Chains A and B, each alone.
Chain A
């Protein structure tokens, strides 16, 4: 099973700042089959990025994904208050596993 480790656990930043979230896989992710989800309290997760770098429909362009093999990054270029959430990475190249999440707090 591919284990995904996300860092940091919590990120506390001000509006307008850049957020960089990391997702590291225990082995190479086939075909860069890596997705990112945003989850706000009491809500279902929402797809943000798939295929490591493709934005899902309706996602603002301040969200971008990058990386390959075992190291992936979600970047929020300029934080908005509504970006406060927990972000999960998920690999779907070999079975399906999620990272433990990174909480983004807006100061």
Chain B
């Protein structure tokens, strides 16, 4: 059974950085594209980034380009998202999600981790 657990969220000051993690289990991690999506309080879903199975191919949303970096550690079955130069409007729940295989729809989602940017 696919299981995705995010961690690393919390309270950070404007301009600060945070590294989110996603621990995956129940499937062959390196076979799947993985992504990050966020949801601001009371708002809709926003795709942020996708990474290929080997980690070589990466895609980023223009809205956050230059301020985030996706990576993965396949032997550890872990996905990461580095967030830099954080602003108040980056406050959101950040979800990791597993693709069907390639960079398509999101077949499975974690429960999310809350990032709050405030002084």
On A, residues with C-beta under 8 Å from B are 1, 33, 35, 37, 39, 43-47, 50, 56, 88, 90, 92, 95-101
Quick check: A44 and B105 within 8 Å, CB to CB? no
Closest to A42 in B: B111
Alpha-carbon distance A90/B35, docked complex (angstroms): 14
A86 → B minimal CB distance (Å): 8
16 pairs of residues in contact across A and B, judged by CB atoms under 8 Å: A1-B62, A33-B104, A44-B110, A44-B111, A45-B109, A47-B107, A50-B105, A90-B47, A95-B47, A95-B61, A96-B35, A96-B59, A99-B44, A100-B44, A101-B44, A101-B45
Using known A-B contacts A44-B95, A50-B100, A101-B44, determine if residue A95 contacts B109 with beta carbons closer than 8 Å: no
A65 → B minimal CB distance (Å): 12
B12-28: which residues lie under 8 A (CB-CB) from chain A?
none
Using known A-B contacts A95-B59, A96-B50, determine if residue A47 contacts B106 with beta carbons closer than 8 Å: yes
By secondary structure, the A interface counts as: loop
Alpha-carbon distance A33/B106, docked complex (angstroms): 12
Q: Does B31 contact A (CB under 8 A)?
A: no
Q: Which residues does chain B contribute within 8 Å of A50, judged by CB atoms?
A: 100, 104-105
Which 10 A-B pairs have CB atoms at the shortest separation, nearest pair first?
A35-B105, A44-B109, A96-B47, A98-B45, A50-B105, A100-B44, A101-B44, A92-B104, A92-B105, A44-B111
